[in-house]
Amino acid sequence: MGQAIGNVLPLALGVAISPLPIVAVVLMLATPRGKVNGPAFVIGWVLGLVVVGVIVLLVASGVGASSATAKPKTWVSVLELVLGLLLGFVAVRQWRGRPGPGADPSMPAWMKTIDSFTPVKSLGLAAVLSGANPKNLLLNVSAAAAIAQAGISTGKQTIVFAIFVVIATLGPGIPLGIYYVMGDGAPKVLGGIRRWMVANNQAIMAVLCLVIGAKLIGEAIAGFTA
């Protein structure tokens, strides 16, 4: 189980360090509905991760990847290779899409309407960002595949995946904690986080995707030669 945890930690951190969701929850916390929309966003984030992870683990179990006595399946290595290459492609796109010197970073149009969000809409947005966003989807699938091929029991798989989800939720979860713990001092801290994340969004994404993509490709090569 320890090896499985070690394999998913960098993937969980890759999901956690997602600039746009962090900016979104910070903006929500500055609205009149922040006290309900913020927690709803974090709950939706967790749900998105869980749905994708459970689906992959169930599929993997059905094809025998989770057998305690089975050698890691070739299809898992193929999946890691494909996911690693896709993350590399995302990294290149993010890097090339960086704003030029002095240019304002472009942000999604929905961020301008956050003031009007309801708790249900906040939850739904977070679920989409954690479960269907290309970068997070690739990392989530990679984590579930890594857990599946570890050859551990279903109970241990559940524990490892729960650890993955907790760490992957730190990104939107930490601003929520700052909001409740720091009180009147929170807006200044959260404002600084938001400005830095907006300014460096695409560079952060490019570096994360490149590093984790290289990790997955390396693991795939190791699996092919095992």
**Between 4 and 65, the higher pLDDT residue:** 4
Does the pLDDT value for residue 195 go beyond 70? yes
Q: Which residues contact 35 (CB under 8 A, 6 or more apart)?
A: none
- Note the Cα 27 to chain centre separation in Å: 19
- Per-domain residue ranges for the chain? 2-63+109-202
Model confidence pLDDT, tens digit, residues 18-75: 888 999 999 999 888 989 999 999 999 999 999 999 998 888 776 555 554 445 567 7
Query: CA nearest 164: which of 187, 136, 123?
Result: 136
In the numeric block, which tokens belong to residue 41? 């966003």
Query: Please, are residues 221 and 78 in contact by the beta-carbon 8 Å criterion?
Result: no
Query: How far, in Å, CA of 55 to CA of 94, rounded?
Result: 28
Residue 183: left (phi > 0), alpha (psi -120 to 50), or beta? left
Amino acid in position 106: S
Does the pLDDT value for residue 141 go beyond 60? yes
Cα first-last separation, the chain: 20
In the numeric block, which tokens belong to residue 165? 């989800």
